């Protein structure tokens, strides 16, 4: 009989909680992450993903420095995946090619815009622009790459449809400049 009373007590408690919370909703994950200006966004498609930290107000992008456990100014060379496995001569080639890419970030109407273009128009022409709505986390790719082996019109819808993004917990919200870290 005691077991039945406990069961009835638990059921009654659950019923009361249900009544008290009628109309309650679990907050949207994106809304929960909207406090503070430093955000970490994880985007992925088919098990391949990338993440980045941004300042939601300025559009600045940061890299995480494991030594100082802080965010530092974004450096495209530091973001090369599997860099420690790439032979030094090949990494130097990649690094030199990355120096020929200019990137710009900004926030416009609550949309994060990341644009890459060549530093020297005489070498190559075109641009790649990625926008991310900071409320819905919908991604949109726009590009003009005249010498691309695959037409941009083919790639763009695939990327726009297959990449999904979500807010995740930042590794840090402490920001240091690279000059302060000695890098």
Digit-coded pLDDT (tens) for 60-116: 999 888 899 999 998 877 777 777 788 888 888 888 888 888 889 999 999 999 998
What is the CB neighbour count within 10 angstroms for residue 170?
A: 19
133 close to 39: Cβ distance less than 8 angstroms: no
Residues 11-26, mean pLDDT to the nearest whole number:
38
Q: What are phi and psi of 46, to 5 degrees?
A: 50, 50
- Sequence-ordered strand ranges (E) for 2-158: 38-45, 48-55, 61-65, 70-73, 101-108, 111-118, 127-133, 139-144
> Tokens 């919908």 appear where?
138
With a cut of 80, say whether residue 156 has pLDDT above it.
yes
Q: Between 107 and 7, where is the model more confident?
A: 107
Cα separation values, 112 from 41, 57, 90, 109, 152, Å: 11, 10, 32, 8, 21
Q: How far is the C-alpha of 39 from the C-alpha of 169, rounded, in Å?
A: 8
Q: How far is the C-alpha of 71 from the C-alpha of 173, rounded, in Å?
A: 7
> Tokens 């037409």 appear where?
151
Half-sphere exposure of 37 (CA within 13 A, CB side): 11
61 close to 114: Cβ distance less than 8 angstroms: yes
Predicted TM-score of the model (pTM)? 0.68
């Amino acid at each position: 009989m005691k077991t039945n009373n406990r069961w009835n007590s638990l059921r009654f408690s659950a019923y009361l909680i249900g009544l008290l919370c009628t109309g309650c909703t679990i907050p949207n994950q994106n809304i929960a992450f909207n406090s503070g200006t430093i955000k970490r966004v994880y985007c992925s498609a088919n098990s391949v993903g990338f993440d980045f930290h941004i300042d939601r107000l300025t559009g600045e992008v940061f890299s995480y420095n494991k030594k100082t456990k802080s965010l530092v100014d974004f450096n495209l060379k530091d973001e090369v995946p599997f860099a420690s496995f790439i032979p030094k001569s090949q990494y130097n080639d990649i690094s030199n090619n990355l120096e020929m890419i200019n990137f710009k970030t900004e926030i416009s109407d609550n949309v994060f815009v990341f644009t890459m273009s060549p530093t020297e128009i005489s070498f190559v022409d075109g641009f790649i622009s990625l926008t991310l709505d900071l409320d819905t986390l919908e991604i949109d790719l726009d590009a003009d790459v005249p010498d691309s082996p695959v037409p941009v019109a083919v790639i763009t819808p695939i990327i726009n449809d297959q990449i999904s993004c979500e807010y995740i917990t930042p590794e840090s919200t402490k920001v240091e400049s690279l000059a302060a870290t000695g890098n």
